[in-house]
Amino acid sequence: MSKVIEISGKEFESTVLNSGLPVAVIFYSNDCPICSSVMPVFERLASEFCEKMLFVRVNKDQNHELSKKYHIKASSTIVFFRNGKEFCKTLSGYTRRPELKCVIEDVIGNKCECLERNKTECDVLILGGGPAGLTSAIYAARSKLFTVVVDDSMVGGQVASTYQVANYPGTNGVIRGIDLVNNMKKQAMDFGAQIDDMQDVIQVDFSGEIKKLQTNKTDYYARSVIIATGATPRKLNIEGEETFAGKGVHYCATCDGAFYYDANVIVVGGGDAAVEEAIFLTRFAKKVTVVHRRDHFTATKSSQEELLKNPSIEILFNTEVKAINGKDFVTGVTLMDNKTNEAYEMDTDGIFIYIGMQPQSNLFKGQIEIDDYGYIITDENLQTSVKGVFAAGDVRRKEVRQITTAVGDGSVAAIMAGRFLAAYGV
């Protein structure tokens, strides 16, 4: 019999926070390869230590609020509790038995209580591990500058979830997004860059000569900073969108499209991402309906041509999604014809939303100059309004946002950061 208890967010306080024993909680997702590897280790150690520790598992996708509260960014993530509070270190991603057993023994032995915060000093601190951040790391580390990349998730950015990158020079259109960024990551680390992913950034301070960044466990002190935090999918902000996130509402067809084999799905948007992902979804879904509020697409002509000739795709121009409906999962949407103002219902098994991106810049408001849309303003050398702080990639204000422009930004930002440091004798 398994010694691991499955609970929901409603049972978390009574089971975990009020437990008389220390507790290990693993947050997992269905169909997660990493979880499939870690869970048997977690189960076996639960049998070994069940008299001294409670072992619990929580489905991250079915308990969004709880996952958000404890900053769970990836599956699997193991969080430890003692006397109702988080205790000791958090383990994310692939976790080997010796590492997990060591932390369990420390929690049971109450050895983590007085752990001091880590302190890291560096020449170049890069915030964000997408193509812009990793390229900056390659250039900076190769220049013999001590370089640290901090990311609040797994490194890779949006590209990591792209099925195939067809227009990156030198790849012949046959490279997966995850393979491309993993190559960048390895190259940066081979040059000596330090990658600190899965970090929750609490605050930054760019006011002094030495820039400061604080995460839950580490204080970073940097002589220069490159902001490459990228952008995230923009939300429709309509009824049902948040309720059904992960339960029929998606922002990545590559990640979730396979769940919709032989189903009917809707894609919202009219740009390159919407058109390309609609085409991709026809690998699984029997019908894809593209809903766009305008009377024409803004995607490239080649993408539009491929979309229009696909018999599995239907297009609704001059139409908006006003609500997402369902009970436990999405069952349909409320649409409105912009020309007649007529609202009507449409059944669907899922909805994929591609209406633009939101720059991840809130952390820097009040510290550097940001435009009305949230994009960081830089000069031609990618320096922000604060000397020694640069910005690269999708987070900065510019006209074109592609992987190639991101890596171009990354190289320029790193070179200019190096010149800035050289002027101060670093």
Q: Which residue has the tokens 């280790």?
A: 41
Q: Any catalytic annotation for residue 255?
A: yes
Beta-bridged to residue 395, according to DSSP, are: none
Q: Alpha-carbon distance 263 to 282, whole Å?
A: 10
82 dihedral zone (left: phi>0; alpha: psi -120 to 50; beta): beta
Instruction: Read off the amino acid at residue 68.
Output: K
User: 123, 151, 197, 256: which is the annotated catalytic residue?
Assistant: 256
Residue type, 253: A
Angle ∠(47,87,108) on CA atoms, nearest 5: 40
Residue 139 near residue 414 (C-beta atoms within 8 A): yes
Catalytic choice (61, 255, 272, 337): 255
- HSE of 369, CA atoms in CB hemisphere, 13 A: 10
86 bridge partner residues = 81
| Sequential DSSP letters for 93-123 | SS--HHHHHHHHHHHHTT-STTPPPEEEEEE
- By C-alpha distance, which of 94, 95, 202, 199 is closest to 148? 199
Q: Which of 35, 151, 252, 394 is catalytic?
A: 252
**Rounded CA gap, 270 and 204, in Å?**
36
Extended strands (E) in 128-245: 147-150, 194-196, 201-205, 211-215, 218-227, 231-233
Q: Is the peptide bond before 224 cis (omega within 30 degrees of 0)?
A: no
Which tokens hold the place of 77? Answer: 């993530």
Residue 8 CA, distance from chain mean position = 23
Q: Which two tokens stand for residue 196?
A: 């600190």
Question: Strand pairing of 264-268 and 287-291?
Answer: parallel
What tokens appear for 211 in the block?
């820039």
Query: Hey, CA dihedral for 74, 75, 78, 83, is it positive or negative?
Result: positive
Per the annotation, the verdict on 50 as an active-site residue is no
Q: Give the pair of three-digit tokens for residue 267.
A: 């894609």
Q: Does 372 qualify as catalytic in the annotation? A: no
End-to-end CA distance of the chain, in Å? 60
Measured in degrees and rounded to the nearest 5, phi and psi for residue 180 equal -60, -50
Which residues are known catalytic residues? 252, 255-256
